[in-house]
A = this chain, B = another copy of it.
Amino acid sequence: MFRTFAFLLCALALAAHAQPDPLPSWNAGPAKARVLDFVKAVTDDASPGYVPPARRIAVFDNDGTLWSEQPAYFQLLFAVDRVKALAPAHPQWKDRQPFKAAIEGDLKALAASGEKGLVELVMATHAGLTTEQFEQVVREWIATARHPTLKRPYTELAYQPMLELLAYLRASGFKTFIVSGGGVEFMRPWVERVYGIPPEQVIGSSIAVKYGAVDGKPALMREPKVNFVDDKAGKPVGIHYHIGRRPIAAFGNSDGDFQMLEWTTAGPGTTLGMIVHHTDAAREFVYDRKSGVGRLDRALTEAPKRGWEVIDMKRDWATVFKVASP
């Protein structure tokens, strides 16, 4: 009898120890506690905050939330590389902005070309091919390009704590979506491998595509025309068109995510809104209210009164970048 009891105790102790920390790269603190409390509340069917699995939708901004976005959105660096690659076939580009700035790698001059310049750059580099050709171009770039200062492949600049969070939410019955201002077709070729998010769960900005034939075979041709801008008030709209139900958790890092956080956390029942605050000059970057890229101003001011949890990268993350799989 005593032996049976001892054995049971032992098994219980082992079971308790067998529960590994789902978020090992998060330091103990309010941000980690908030995530754990939220997941516990929505998954425990005895909890008043319980949410059935079908409604466990979590949305994540990409740039600055799942991977870095400095010194410029990585998709812009992709466009710059693509201008350089295409330049020999477009000799007129070397004397014309914004192409001149791109060829010279002058990000400052590029930024000075404003939204009009950037749209022109995107159309010249992202349109005029079939969707399958563009996918191939993205695949090759993402496999070979390196970040200008961190000197690593861009996909290694995914945040380890967020990868753990994505996996933890999925293991807790959530469906995870990306909702990004970036181009949907720039993300889809690699996000499944890096984030575990399949292409059909990626919402983003897009240019128009047109169904037709190329070399006698059906093809979708990318047109130099904006189809949808998935930023600011466009984020709840994109979520609605694509998912058709209101998320219960939203993660962002800039004022571009304000409406997505607002829409999510204004929903009924238990909700969670979190903001990644870039506070770590040593390991990543420091920026917020005055940054041209990923400006975080209004959302940072309003976070406390709206109940949004601010993740302080320096304080809350034990590791920043993706740890290579063993």
Q: Point out residues on A near B: beta carbons under 8 Å.
A: 54, 57, 131, 175, 184-185, 188, 192, 198-202, 206, 209-212, 217-218, 220, 227, 233-234, 236-237, 240-245, 259, 262-263, 266
Contacts and interface: CB of A to CB of B under 8 A. Distances in A.
A237 B211 contact: yes
A52 to B, nearest CB: 12
B244 A184 contact: yes
Given A233-B211, A241-B209, A242-B200, A218 B263 contact: yes
Contacts of A245: 188, 199-200
A318 to B, nearest CB: 32
B241 A199 contact: no
A209 B266 CA distance: 18
Contacts of A233: 210-212
A169 to B, nearest CB: 16
Contacts of A201: 200
Contact of A209 (B188, B192, B237): B237
A303 B202 CA distance: 34
A259 B211 CA distance: 8
Contacts of A175: 200
11 contacts: A184-B241, A199-B245, A200-B242, A200-B245, A206-B241, A209-B241, A210-B237, A211-B234, A211-B236, A212-B233, A217-B266
Given A192-B54, A263-B218, A266-B217, A240 B209 contact: yes
Copies in the complex: 2
A263 B202 contact: no
A126 to B, nearest CB: 14
A217 B227 CA distance: 28
A54 B233 CA distance: 32
B243 A220 contact: no
Contacts of A192: 54
B240 A131 contact: yes
A201 B57 CA distance: 13
Given A206-B241, A241-B209, A236 B220 contact: yes
A10 B313 CA distance: 63
A212 B236 CA distance: 10
A62 B25 CA distance: 46
Contact of A244 (B188, B240, B266): B188
A211 B266 CA distance: 13
Most B C-beta atoms less than 10 A away, residue of A131, A209, A237, A244 = A244
Contact of A199 (B206, B209, B236, B243): B243
A198 B201 CA distance: 13
B211 A263 contact: yes
Nearest to A218: B266
A185 B259 CA distance: 21
Contacts of A184: 241, 244
Contacts of A199: 243-245
Contacts of A227: 241
Contacts of A131: 240
Q: Which 7 A-B pairs have the closest CB atoms?
A: A199-B244, A211-B233, A200-B243, A188-B244, A218-B266, A211-B236, A218-B263
